[in-house]
Amino acid sequence: MKSLKFYHLTDLHYYANERIGSSGAAYKFKCDVDQKCMAESGAIVDAAFKDICEDKEIDIVLISGDLTFDGEQQSHDALVEKLQKLKDNGKRVFTTFATHDFYMHARKYTDEEGETELPKYTRAELRKLYNDFGYSEAIAEHKNSYSYCVQLSEDVRMLALNDDGDFDEFCGYYNDLLEWIKEQVEDAKKAGCEIFAMTHHPVVEPSPVYPLFSHKAMLGGYEFTTPYLADLGIRYIFVGHTHIHDIDYIESKKGNRIYQINTAALTAYPLAYRKVEYSDEGMDVKTVQIKEIDYDLGGKDVLEYAKEHFTYMIKSVFDSIENDYEKFIILSQGFSGEGEKLRKAQPIVQRIGKFANSLTFKKLCTLAGCGKYVAPEIANDSIIDFICQVILNMYSGREELSPDTSQYKAFVPFCKRLGKIVKLKDYQGNPVALDKLIADVLYDDNGIDDWDAVLK
Ligand SMILES: [Fe+2]
Ligand SMILES: [Fe+2]
């Protein structure tokens, strides 16, 4: 097989404010409470596309959905112009769209009028709009789902799988699409081609905690679909949606492995995308970060700026639990929190939040009867700061708090004690051991570096 190089970007969530014209405190609030850098999204997309254009070695760009912030027509129109520039620079661009491109609340935010609704495109209109960015090169198209198959090189094909499902309760593949995927894989094999896939939703849990708080955000029916894809012979799938930077795999009962390369949202910390080389050596995946953007960041480095934005947002979550519960519900949507469930649980969540905000490692672990595990250097560290760090680590693919660290040594025994009172269950009702779960969140020990890895 001839080596094939490409870029993978996802979840651009581009908000074309230069055309939309949101402004004032209402817009600032919206920007502040989102994990993504909404106001800066255009400049971030431009910076990524500029770097890609300058790379004369790679002419393929994959983008796996959530192209716009919430589906604003103006954002799509402006993005298509940016994609056209990539094309004019000799790049072949392959896109799929996802729920944030047609199903969300596209809004303009101003102090005079508050939130006003903006027009959106239908899925059929998006298919036409993005025709030159994937569909026009298709060697096969599954019309019901807007999925397609392309020949990337003489011996490599790619499935761009649209997993919109019913857009709401079920994002996944219906039977006719599963059947079509099977046909495409068989056709590729007959033609002597390798085939891999990209889709929007994750088919492998990017963190053990993810399906617990957001099972619906996994590809619907992934427990069946992922081994099915592996057994067909699809070994690699590039995904987005979670905004978590992660590489993981599962093995089917028949022993077939499928790797999932989940890339963070381009416009949220760590402002990353992937540079990939596919060859007989396997899939060589590397992370590239945005270096600088054309936007006034008050003299800050762009990565530091995005990190501060993310941290501020997470801290606001804890602060708002105690002081502004409606804001907390808005913020929790960034983590796929479900408003109604949270509203029902308000008294208990608020009590926990208030208590948590006052805690240090020493106070927390002493209360639980495991104070002896707390090393002096972390005794007075705030638990909330620690949790912020853990969340940031998870999203940026740096779950590096190993069993040797003081934080792990103190927090895991605490979770073991807590697990005797708080009985967690997964979505199927099976008990989940809290200490084991948290240990896996603190330290990702699957043996694969989430940033740079050669996957065989
Ligand atoms: Fe997204
Ligand atoms: Fe998404």
The CATH number assigned to the domain holding 151 equals 3.60.21.10
More confident residue, 446 or 87: 87
Q: In the structure encoding, which two tokens stand for residue 201, read together?
A: 């939703």
| Ligand 2: centre distance to CA 168 (Å) | 11
69 and 203, same domain (yes or no): yes
* Residue-level pLDDT at 335: 67
* Residue-level pLDDT at 336: 67
The full length of the chain comes to 456
In a domain, 41, yes or no: yes
| Ligand 2: centre distance to CA 451 (Å) | 21
| Ligand 2: centre distance to CA 255 (Å) | 30
| Ligand 2: centre distance to CA 11 (Å) | 7
Ligand 2 ion: nearby residues, β-carbon < 5 Å = 66, 98, 241
Alpha-carbon torsion angle 163, 167, 169, 172, nearest 10: -10
| Ligand 1: centre distance to CA 203 (Å) | 15
259 and 337, same domain (yes or no): no
Among the bound ligands, name the one nearest to the CA of residue 163. 2
Among the bound ligands, name the one nearest to the CA of residue 244. 1
Query: How much of the chain, in percent, has pLDDT values that exceed 70?
Result: 99
3-class DSSP state of 233: coil
- Mean pLDDT for the chain overall: 95
Among the bound ligands, name the one nearest to the CA of residue 243. 1
| Ligand 2: centre distance to CA 336 (Å) | 10
Residue 68's pLDDT band, with cuts at 50, 70 and 90, is very high
E strand or H helix that includes residue 199: strand 194-199
Q: In the structure encoding, which two tokens stand for residue 4, read together?
A: 């094939």
Contact 197, 148 (CB under 8 A): no
| Ligand 2: centre distance to CA 366 (Å) | 41
Asked if the model's pLDDT at residue 46 lies above 80, the reply is: yes
312 and 278, same domain (yes or no): no
Beta-carbon contacts of 379 under 8 Å, excluding residues fewer than 6 positions away, are 360, 361, 362
3-class DSSP state of 248: strand
| Ligand 1: centre distance to CA 241 (Å) | 4
Through-space distance between the first and last CA atoms of the chain, rounded to whole angstroms: 14
More confident residue, 322 or 250: 250
* Residue-level pLDDT at 428: 85
Handedness of CA 16, 22, 27, 30 (dihedral sign): negative
Give the end of a domain, one of 291, 316, 346: 291
Domain that holds residue 349: 302-442
pLDDT in tens, 289-346: 999 999 999 999 999 999 999 999 888 888 899 889 988 888 887 666 778 888 999 9
| Ligand 2: centre distance to CA 101 (Å) | 9
| Ligand 2: centre distance to CA 241 (Å) | 4
174 and 135, same domain (yes or no): yes
In a domain, 296, yes or no: no
| Ligand 1: centre distance to CA 37 (Å) | 12
Most confident of 210-224, 275-289, 421-435: 275-289
Separation CA 79–CA 92 (nearest Å): 15
Residue 122's pLDDT band, with cuts at 50, 70 and 90, is very high
What total number of domains does the chain contain?
A: 2
Residue 235's pLDDT band, with cuts at 50, 70 and 90, is very high
Query: How much of the chain, in percent, has pLDDT values that exceed 90?
Result: 86
DSSP states of 385-450 = HHHHHHHHHHHTT--B--TTSHHHHHHHHHHHHHHHHS-EE-TTS-EE-HHHHHHHHHB--SS--S
40 and 60, same domain (yes or no): yes
In a domain, 449, yes or no: no
Residue 182's pLDDT band, with cuts at 50, 70 and 90, is very high
pTM of the full structure: 0.94
273 and 321, same domain (yes or no): no
Separation CA 331–CA 321 (nearest Å): 10
More confident residue, 155 or 213: 155
DSSP states of 132-190 = TTTGGGEEEEETTTTEEEEEEETTEEEEEE---TTSSS--B--HHHHHHHHHHHHHHHH
